[in-house]
Amino acid sequence: MNRTTLSLIACTVALAAVTGFAAFDPPPAPGTSAAGSATERPVERTGLLCPAPSFSDIADTAYTSFTPVTQGADSGGKATLEAAAEQSADGKGGKDAGKKDQAVLTPKPPGTPALGDTSGSDTPALIGTADGKYAPGWTVQETTRIAAGTGRGLQGVTCTPADTDFWFPGASTAKGRTDYVHLTNPDDGAAVVDIKLYGKSGAVKTTVTDGITVPPHSSEPVLLSTLTDDAQTDLTVHVGVRSGRVGATVQAQDDAGGGDWLPAAADPAGSLVLPGIPKDAADVRLVAFTPGDDDADLKVRLASPNGSITPAGNETVHVRAGMTSAVDLGPVTRGEPGSLILTPTDKAVPVVAALRVVRGKGSSQETAYIPATAPVGRRATAADNSAKSTTLSLTAPTADATVKVTASAGSDGGSPATKTYTIKSGTSQDISAPTGGKGTYALTVEPVSGGPVYAARTLTGSSDGVPGFTIQTLPSDRGLVAVPRAEQDLSVLQR
The answer to whether the beta carbons of residues 405 and 445 sit under 8 Å apart is yes
Alpha-carbon distance of 450 to 476, in angstroms, equals 17
Own/partner long-range contacts of 411-416 (Cβ < 8 Å, ≥24 apart)? 411/112, 411/113, 411/114, 411/115, 411/437, 411/438, 411/439, 411/440, 411/441, 412/437, 412/438, 412/439, 413/437, 413/438, 413/439, 414/438, 414/439, 414/441, 416/111
| pLDDT at res. 490 | 67
What is the band of 494 on the pLDDT scale with cuts at 50, 70, 90? low
What is the band of 89 on the pLDDT scale with cuts at 50, 70, 90? very low
| pLDDT at res. 149 | 87
DSSP reduced 3-state for 9: helix
What is the band of 485 on the pLDDT scale with cuts at 50, 70, 90? confident
The answer to whether the beta carbons of residues 100 and 122 sit under 8 Å apart is yes
pLDDT tens, residue by residue, 456-483: 999 998 766 667 999 999 999 999 988 8
DSSP letter for 491, please.
G
DSSP reduced 3-state for 494: helix
pLDDT tens, residue by residue, 91-119: 444 444 444 556 899 999 999 999 999 99
Strand order in the sheet with 441-450: 380-385, 441-450, 401-407, 417-423
Residue 449, beta-bridge partner list: 402
| pLDDT at res. 38 | 75
Closest to 306 (Cα-Cα) out of 278, 343, 333, 269: 333
How much of the chain exceeds pLDDT 70, in percent? Answer: 86
Q: Which residue stretches of 220-301 are H helix?
A: none
Alpha-carbon distance of 204 to 80, in angstroms, equals 40
The answer to whether the beta carbons of residues 396 and 423 sit under 8 Å apart is yes
| Average pLDDT of the segment spanning 124-150 | 96
DSSP letter for 230, please.
-
Closest to 258 (Cα-Cα) out of 363, 384, 183, 167: 363
pLDDT tens, residue by residue, 379-392: 999 999 998 899 99
| pLDDT at res. 95 | 44
DSSP letter for 290, please.
B
Closest to 130 (Cα-Cα) out of 105, 151, 101: 105
| CB-based contacts of 244, cutoff 8 Å, min separation 6 | 185, 187, 189, 190, 191, 192, 214
Across the chain, mean pLDDT equals 89
Q: Looking only at Cα atoms, what is the longest distance across the chain?
A: 76
